[in-house]
């Protein structure tokens, strides 16, 4: 077997080179860390202003109050949280979402090395969620297209929004009137019956039915018509039943000055049953033919 011998002088030279290399690399690493620390602590890349875009109901002051605390202090007592490259973007976005349910989307961008732009997309109202009472003191909240309550609203008579009346939780903001699928199905039905001439003003949750408070335009004005439909989707059969009533009236042989649609003497029309249509007159209940 061959053995490799290394003299003491060569071993010492090797150890010296190794120590030198370690020292050089250690010096480079420490210098780089110091350079990074200096650069990231520079006032030239520190956030000095914040501007806001897209917000309407949420004020600039409210958004600033939610964002500013996240820019105070430092990471590990070394790097300022105001640094334009390492500021806590995700924390600011999450806090704005948590503080303002009205804020549907939040996006933060940098402008230059010292300015933040916080853009907010606010939820658009698609209706009113009101408590189950007819008094003017009933609480109401704006809901968006997903049925999420996001802000208090006045109970306005003649509002352009449909009022959905259902029991309110203690804290309604951030809660849903119903699931989005159910809300979509209900509003599709409201849109369908509008093609028949029924304008829905209110929807009331009852124990065993939804009651739609609608108006129907006649030659002499508008008549109030109350429609009862199932509590949950589907509503196709209810629409078919209502369309059959309208069509049967259109098929009646009436004179030019006669009004074929007479709803004034009806308390409600019940559309919850597959092959039968029930209606209730002011004094008694009756059923329309199958």
Summarize the confidence of residues 85-112 as an average pLDDT: 94
What confidence tier does 154 reach under pLDDT thresholds 50, 70, 90? confident
Distance CA 239, CA 190 (A): 9
Pick the CATH number of 45-122 from 3.10.20.310, 3.30.450.20, 2.60.120.680, 3.90.180.10: 3.10.20.310
Note the pLDDT of residue 267: 81
- The domain locations on the chain are 45-122, 127-288
pLDDT at 289 over 50: no
Q: What percent of the chain has pLDDT over 70?
A: 72
pLDDT at 281 over 90: no
What confidence tier does 73 reach under pLDDT thresholds 50, 70, 90? confident
* Neighbouring-strand partners of residue 79: 75
Distance CA 201, CA 155 (A): 13
Distance CA 98, CA 50 (A): 19
In terms of Cα–Cα distance, which of 84, 91, 76, 88 is closest to 40? 84
pLDDT tens, position by position, 112-141: 888 999 999 999 999 999 988 655 567 899
Summarize the confidence of residues 147-173 as an average pLDDT: 87
Distance CA 67, CA 91 (A): 9
pLDDT at 34 over 60: no
Note the pLDDT of residue 235: 94
Find out whether 122 and 58 touch, Cβ atoms under 8 Å. Answer: yes
Summarize the confidence of residues 70-83 as an average pLDDT: 82
Note the pLDDT of residue 38: 56
Residue 225: count other Cβ atoms within 10 Å of its Cβ: 22
Let me know if domain 127-288 sits in CATH 3.30.420: no
Note the pLDDT of residue 79: 77
Q: What percent of the chain has pLDDT over 90?
A: 50
- Eight-state DSSP code of residue 69: G
């Amino acid at each position: 077997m061959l053995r490799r011998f290394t003299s003491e002088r060569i071993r010492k030279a090797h150890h010296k080179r190794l120590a030198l290399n370690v020292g050089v690399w250690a010096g480079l690493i420490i210098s780089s860390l110091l350079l990074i620390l200096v650069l990231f602590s520079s006032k030239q890349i520190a956030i000095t202003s914040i501007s806001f875009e897209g917000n309407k109901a949420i004020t600039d002051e409210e958004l600033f109050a939610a964002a500013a605390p996240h820019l105070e202090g430092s990471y590990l007592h070394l790097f300022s949280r105001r640094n334009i490259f390492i500021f806590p973007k995700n924390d600011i976005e999450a806090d704005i979402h948590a503080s303002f349910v009205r804020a549907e989307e939040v996006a933060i961008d940098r402008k230059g090395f010292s300015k933040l732009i916080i853009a907010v997309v606010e939820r658009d109202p698609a209706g009113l969620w009101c408590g189950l009472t007819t008094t003017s003191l009933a609480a109401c909240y704006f809901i968006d297209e997903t049925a999420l309550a996001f802000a208090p609203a006045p109970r306005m008579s003649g509002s352009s929004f449909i009022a959905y009346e259902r029991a309110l939780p203690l804290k309604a903001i951030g809660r849903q009137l119903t699931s989005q699928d159910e809300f979509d199905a209900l509003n599709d039905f409201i849109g369908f019956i509008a093609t028949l001439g029924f304008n829905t003003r209110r929807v009331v949750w009852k124990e065993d039915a939804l009651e739609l408070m609608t108006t129907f335009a006649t030659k002499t004005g508008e008549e109030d018509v109350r429609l009862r439909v199932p509590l949950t989707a589907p509503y196709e059969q209810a629409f078919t039943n209502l369309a059959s009533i309208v069509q049967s009236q259109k098929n009646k042989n009436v004179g030019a000055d006669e009004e074929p649609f007479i709803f004034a003497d009806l308390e409600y029309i019940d559309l919850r049953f597959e092959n039968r249509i029930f209606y209730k007159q002011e004094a008694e209940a009756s059923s329309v033919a199958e």
